[in-house]
Structure 1
Amino acid sequence: MTDRRRSDDYKQISGYIPLDLALEFKSICARLGISQSDAIEEMTQEWIAKKTGSLAKKTQAPKTIADLVQANMAKLKRCGVKNLQALAKGEVLPTPGDFAIITSALAIPEEERKQIWQETFKISVYHDAKGVKLYKDSGGVKEDECEYS
């Protein structure tokens, strides 16, 4: 995950809000397991969308599952998918079920889901009667097999 303090892609913002609001905000973030930075980023995007009628400009569409999870960590923490930190770092891959939960929660269209899945696995795809089988590219050796449904 990006170290936001040292990244040129992030900027600190600050402001003053009533004490009771600040305490409630911190409590809810802790209870949900969401970083305050992720919550503020989500709220800022929603506020900008509300004020301008459009979404905050994203730098680039996510290409892999790790990119997708990293960009949407706050929303996904409420969906019950485990290992989000490891998924965001690309240390582990989601099960097909978790991938379905992630992409459904984020309303990712089917074609984009397939592209993200394929980019993540760098796979070769072939169709058969059971669906699409995906293989991790390892120089012609089948390391892992899972079915995308």
Structure 2
Amino acid sequence: MSDRRRSDDYKQVSGYIPLELALEFKSICARLDISQSDAMEEMIQEWISKTTGSGAKNKPPEVPNTIADLVRLNMTKLKRCGVKNLQALAEGEVLPTPGDFAIITSALGIPEQERMKIWQGTYKPSVYPNTKGVKVYRVSESVKVDECEYS
């Protein structure tokens, strides 16, 4: 993980909010195992988009080509789904198990066609020619059990 304090790509932002709101924010971040910086970044992006209407107009959404792209673009949301090694997955240091891939794509609501493209972008078909599918394991009520055919 990069050190945001020393990175030229990050800048500290601060302000004062009511004590109860600050304590609730810190408590929720700790419970969800999300850094306060990640949560604030997500909220500020949403606020800027809502306030200026610039989110969809000026910056087209990035389309993930690999599982690393998908995880990197959705890190904050995925911290809640229970998949381990998210930072290593985002940096492409490790590859997810088929079960983790299924959990990630289910948690993000990725359509089947997109799942197949991302899977094939990561695991080139020539590398795993016998890959027939990915079993989606039930880990919570939001994840459905199904079979994904990728050939």
What is the TM-score normalised by the length of structure 2? 0.69
Counterpart position of 1:24: 24
Matches within 5 A, 1:54-133: 55=55, 57=59, 60-121=62-123, 123-124=124-125
Letter of the aligned partner of 2:34 in structure 1?
I
- Any conservation in 2 of the 1:96–1:147 contact (CA below 8 Å)? no
What secondary structure does 1:80 align onto? Answer: coil
Residues 63 and 28 (structure 1), Cα distance of their counterparts in 2 relative to 1, 3 Å cut = same
**Which 4+ stretches in 1 moved above 4 angstroms?**
6-9, 52-56
What is the TM-score normalised by the length of structure 1? 0.70
Deviation string for 1:45-103 (max 9, x for gaps)? 33344445674636732222112112211111111222222212222222222212211
Provide the rounded CA distance (Å) in 2 between the counterparts of 1:85 and 1:99: 14
- Mapped pair 1:34 → 2:34: yes
- Say which structure is richer in strand: 1
**CA drift at 1:7:** 4.4
Letter of the aligned partner of 1:20 in structure 2?
E
Deviation string for 1:85-144 (max 9, x for gaps)? 2212222222222212211222223222222222222x125xxxxxxxx61xxxxxx8xx
Provide the rounded CA distance (Å) in 1 between the counterparts of 2:97 and 2:65: 18
Q: Which consecutive residues of structure 2, in runs of 5 or more, have no partner in the other structure? A: 134-147
Q: Aligned pair count?
A: 132
Counterpart position of 1:129: none
Q: Which consecutive residues of structure 1, in runs of 5 or more, have no partner in the other structure? A: 126-133, 136-141
After TM superposition, the structure 1 stretch with the greater mean CA deviation from structure 2, 53-62 or 20-29, is 53-62
